Amino acid sequence: METVRKKILVADDDKECCALLTDYLTELGYEVVVVFDGASLYRRAPEVRPDLIISDLEMPGLSGGTVEMLLRASAQTRDIPIIFITGKSPDRQARLVEFREGKRILCKPLDLKEFAVAVQEELGSD
Protein backbone atom coordinates (compact mmCIF):
# COMPACT_ATOMS: atom_id res chain seq x y z
CA MET A 1 0.00 0.00 0.00
CA GLU A 2 1.45 3.34 -1.04
CA THR A 3 1.64 6.09 1.57
CA VAL A 4 0.36 9.54 0.73
CA ARG A 5 3.10 12.16 0.87
CA LYS A 6 2.43 15.29 2.89
CA LYS A 7 2.15 18.41 0.74
CA ILE A 8 4.02 21.60 1.61
CA LEU A 9 3.38 24.97 -0.05
CA VAL A 10 6.52 27.16 -0.02
CA ALA A 11 6.29 30.93 -0.62
CA ASP A 12 9.41 33.07 -0.93
CA ASP A 13 10.46 35.75 -3.41
CA ASP A 14 14.06 34.44 -3.19
CA LYS A 15 14.23 31.81 -5.93
CA GLU A 16 17.48 30.33 -4.56
CA CYS A 17 15.86 29.84 -1.16
CA CYS A 18 12.86 28.18 -2.84
CA ALA A 19 15.16 25.84 -4.78
CA LEU A 20 17.05 24.88 -1.61
CA LEU A 21 13.83 24.26 0.35
CA THR A 22 12.28 22.31 -2.52
CA ASP A 23 15.32 20.05 -2.87
CA TYR A 24 15.62 19.49 0.87
CA LEU A 25 11.91 18.86 1.50
CA THR A 26 11.70 16.53 -1.51
CA GLU A 27 14.67 14.55 -0.13
CA LEU A 28 12.75 14.25 3.15
CA GLY A 29 9.82 12.73 1.22
CA TYR A 30 7.42 15.66 0.99
CA GLU A 31 5.56 16.90 -2.08
CA VAL A 32 6.44 20.57 -2.62
CA VAL A 33 4.56 23.34 -4.43
CA VAL A 34 6.32 26.70 -4.79
CA VAL A 35 5.03 30.25 -5.28
CA PHE A 36 7.10 33.43 -5.33
CA ASP A 37 4.84 36.06 -3.75
CA GLY A 38 2.13 36.56 -1.17
CA ALA A 39 -0.72 37.02 -3.64
CA SER A 40 0.09 33.68 -5.27
CA LEU A 41 0.27 32.05 -1.85
CA TYR A 42 -3.18 33.39 -1.01
CA ARG A 43 -4.64 32.22 -4.35
CA ARG A 44 -2.98 28.79 -4.39
CA ALA A 45 -3.49 27.66 -0.78
CA PRO A 46 -7.19 26.75 -1.23
CA GLU A 47 -6.41 24.91 -4.51
CA VAL A 48 -3.33 23.05 -3.27
CA ARG A 49 -4.75 22.24 0.19
CA PRO A 50 -1.27 21.83 1.69
CA ASP A 51 -0.58 20.09 4.98
CA LEU A 52 1.86 22.90 5.81
CA ILE A 53 2.79 26.35 4.49
CA ILE A 54 6.31 27.73 4.72
CA SER A 55 6.29 31.45 4.00
CA ASP A 56 8.78 34.27 3.96
CA LEU A 57 7.57 37.11 6.17
CA GLU A 58 8.83 39.85 3.84
CA MET A 59 7.61 39.56 0.24
CA PRO A 60 6.63 42.20 -2.31
CA GLY A 61 2.93 42.97 -2.37
CA LEU A 62 1.23 40.87 0.29
CA SER A 63 3.56 40.01 3.18
CA GLY A 64 3.52 36.58 4.78
CA GLY A 65 1.80 38.03 7.85
CA THR A 66 -0.95 39.63 5.76
CA VAL A 67 -1.53 36.38 3.87
CA GLU A 68 -1.74 34.52 7.17
CA MET A 69 -4.53 36.86 8.36
CA LEU A 70 -6.41 36.30 5.09
CA LEU A 71 -5.97 32.51 5.23
CA ARG A 72 -7.12 32.39 8.87
CA ALA A 73 -10.34 34.18 7.84
CA SER A 74 -11.34 31.33 5.51
CA ALA A 75 -12.79 28.03 6.74
CA GLN A 76 -10.90 26.27 3.89
CA THR A 77 -7.46 27.40 5.01
CA ARG A 78 -7.68 28.53 8.64
CA ASP A 79 -6.25 25.32 10.12
CA ILE A 80 -3.22 24.94 7.85
CA PRO A 81 -0.08 25.33 9.99
CA ILE A 82 2.40 27.99 8.86
CA ILE A 83 6.13 28.28 9.49
CA PHE A 84 7.53 31.72 8.73
CA ILE A 85 11.08 32.30 7.56
CA THR A 86 12.82 35.66 7.58
CA GLY A 87 16.16 37.22 6.89
CA LYS A 88 15.42 39.92 9.44
CA SER A 89 15.99 39.15 13.08
CA PRO A 90 16.23 41.63 15.94
CA ASP A 91 18.98 39.43 17.38
CA ARG A 92 21.08 37.81 14.65
CA GLN A 93 22.64 35.57 17.31
CA ALA A 94 19.23 34.04 18.05
CA ARG A 95 18.84 31.85 14.99
CA LEU A 96 16.96 29.17 16.86
CA VAL A 97 13.27 28.66 16.33
CA GLU A 98 11.41 31.47 18.01
CA PHE A 99 7.76 31.95 18.68
CA ARG A 100 6.38 35.44 18.35
CA GLU A 101 2.69 36.03 19.02
CA GLY A 102 2.11 32.29 18.67
CA LYS A 103 3.90 32.11 15.31
CA ARG A 104 6.84 29.86 14.56
CA ILE A 105 9.57 31.92 12.92
CA LEU A 106 12.90 30.62 11.60
CA CYS A 107 15.70 33.02 10.73
CA LYS A 108 17.77 32.79 7.56
CA PRO A 109 20.23 31.37 6.90
CA LEU A 110 18.28 28.29 7.91
CA ASP A 111 19.81 25.51 9.93
CA LEU A 112 18.42 22.58 7.92
CA LYS A 113 18.32 20.20 10.90
CA GLU A 114 16.32 22.73 12.95
CA PHE A 115 14.15 23.35 9.91
CA ALA A 116 13.41 19.62 9.50
CA VAL A 117 12.47 19.34 13.19
CA ALA A 118 10.13 22.35 12.90
CA VAL A 119 8.46 20.83 9.83
CA GLN A 120 7.99 17.47 11.55
CA GLU A 121 6.57 19.15 14.67
CA GLU A 122 4.08 21.17 12.65
CA LEU A 123 2.97 18.16 10.59
CA GLY A 124 2.76 15.84 13.58
CA SER A 125 3.81 12.23 13.49
CA ASP A 126 2.22 9.58 11.34
- Shortest CA distance to 78 belongs to which of 41, 119, 46, 38? 46
Question: What would the pLDDT profile of 6-31 be if each residue is shown by its tens digit?
Answer: 999 999 999 999 999 999 999 999 99
Q: Is the pLDDT of residue 37 over 50?
A: yes
The pLDDT of residue 102 is 65
Topology, domain 7-121: Rossmann fold (3.40.50)
CA distance linking residue 77 with residue 75, whole number of Å:
6
Among 36-40, 87-91, 98-102, 109-113, the range scoring the smallest mean pLDDT is: 98-102
Domain spans, the chain: 7-121
The mean pLDDT of 106-121, rounded to a whole number, is 91
CA distance linking residue 35 with residue 8, whole number of Å:
11
* Terminal-to-terminal C-alpha distance of the chain: 15
The pLDDT of residue 92 is 47
Predicted TM-score (pTM) of the model is 0.88
Question: What would the pLDDT profile of 69-107 be if each residue is shown by its tens digit?
Answer: 999 999 999 999 999 998 876 554 444 444 455 678 888
